[in-house]
Amino acid sequence: MSVTNDLFLRALCGETVNRPPVWMMRQAGRYLPEFMEIREKYDFFTRCQTPELASEITVQPMRRFGMDAAILFSDILVIPQAMNIEVQMKPNFGPYLPNPIQSQRDVDSVVVPDVDQELDYVMQAIHMTKEKLNNEVPLIGFAGSPWTILCYCVQGQGSKTFDKAKAFCFTQPKAAHEMLQKITDTTIAYLKAKVKAGVNAVQIFDSWGGMLSPTDYQEFSWQYIQQIVDALKVEGPVIVFGKGCWFALGEMAKSGASALGVDWTCSARNARYLSGGNITLQGNFDPARLLSPPSQIKSMVTQMINEFGKDKYIVNLGHGILPNIPLENAKAFIDAVKEYSN
């Protein structure tokens, strides 16, 4: 089913456009007052696992700002939950896994689930969201990279270094690779089910890829992302976003992905150069820069588009939007793209 506003999909195909499309990572959520109202009533995973709530949260920013794509409200940690690993979301703390993976025996107890059964609530949320969007804009589905998921499964919580996760990979590589493969197989099935349910594109978030050296990145992250891209690119467009992974842009560009996300530490010029100049890039406004005055945000966004070029480019942040961003500043970011003309 085609969508009325197909700017995002055309940019993913590398077509010439009048202006680049725009959306924001984490646009469905914590900076919106209407989201906060829902958050007061329901805990985090209730929001993720209740299709009515997830679909409502997904469309909230669309009503307010009219981005060129919606991204399904969910979380990357629904995957380990489905794999028989307990995940809690603690207020003012973040993800907490009371029984982290520490040994081969722990890996053996992890299942590759039937995603249609265990993650059916996500598929229902997609159907409900598609109805609400009424084919006006594309819907993005997403998953974390296997390495990023492993980081949480082994560390048991967020971390600045993920030292336990790295230690597990370096001291028990066999167990680590088995775990990574189980996550990969689950993720492939999950994303395929999302496409079947109606998402128009998928994004892989490798939030902690930049924690690894280039050599270790190839071994413990990229080879698994490549499997996902290979399996999904025949189903629809795939975007790969690796935070801090500028060193892998050349390899990523040859992967078969439709677009690559770039964080704010890599300039447009370097990103184009490192990725070979032919693939669609997405990014890379510093999320904290949305705290600047709206007029400054607008001029910086215009400059950013000029530096990347309007074609083969999707305007986004370099990571998720922060909770303390004023609404008028988020609006200035979106409006600057919509008003763009070169």
d(CA 260, CA 200): 16
Told to judge if 42 belongs to the known catalytic residues of this protein, a careful annotator would answer no
d(CA 184, CA 26): 23
Q: Looking up tokens 């995940």, which residue turns up?
A: 87
190 Cβ partners below 8 Å, 6+ apart? Answer: 79, 82, 115, 119, 122, 143
- Is 30 labelled as part of a ligand binding site? yes
Q: At 328, is the secondary structure helix, strand, or coil?
A: helix
- The catalytic residue among 19, 31, 47, 152 is 152
d(CA 153, CA 150): 5
d(CA 259, CA 242): 12
Beta-bridge partner residues of 250: none
Burial of 174 (0-12, 13-18, 19+ CB in 10 A): exposed
Q: Which of 262, 200, 255, 197 is nearest to 229 (CA)?
A: 255
For residue 201, the surrounding DSSP H or E stretch is strand 201-206
- Is 340 labelled as part of a ligand binding site? no
User: Nearest 5 degrees, angle CA 192-CA 197-CA 198?
Assistant: 100
Q: At 313, is the secondary structure helix, strand, or coil?
A: strand
- What sign results for the dihedral spanned by CA atoms 148, 154, 158, 159? negative
Told to judge if 19 belongs to the known catalytic residues of this protein, a careful annotator would answer no
d(CA 157, CA 284): 27
Told to judge if 289 belongs to the known catalytic residues of this protein, a careful annotator would answer no
- Is 127 labelled as part of a ligand binding site? no
- The catalytic residue among 10, 30, 106, 121 is 30
- Is 45 labelled as part of a ligand binding site? yes
Residue 195 CB coordination number (10 Å): 19
- Is 75 labelled as part of a ligand binding site? yes
Task: Report helix angle 223-232 to 146-155, nearest 10.
Answer: 130
Q: Which of 268, 249, 251 is nearest to 260 (CA)?
A: 249
- Is 247 labelled as part of a ligand binding site? no
- The catalytic residue among 68, 75, 185, 335 is 75
Told to judge if 64 belongs to the known catalytic residues of this protein, a careful annotator would answer no
Told to judge if 10 belongs to the known catalytic residues of this protein, a careful annotator would answer no
Q: DSSP character for 218?
A: I
- Is 29 labelled as part of a ligand binding site? yes
- The catalytic residue among 26, 64, 96, 216 is 26
- What sign results for the dihedral spanned by CA atoms 295, 30, 126, 242? positive
- Is 152 labelled as part of a ligand binding site? yes
Q: Residues within the annotated binding site for substrate?
A: 26-30, 45, 75, 152, 207, 319
Q: Which residues are catalytic?
A: 26, 30, 39, 75, 152
**Annotated binding-site members:** 26-30, 45, 75, 152, 207, 319
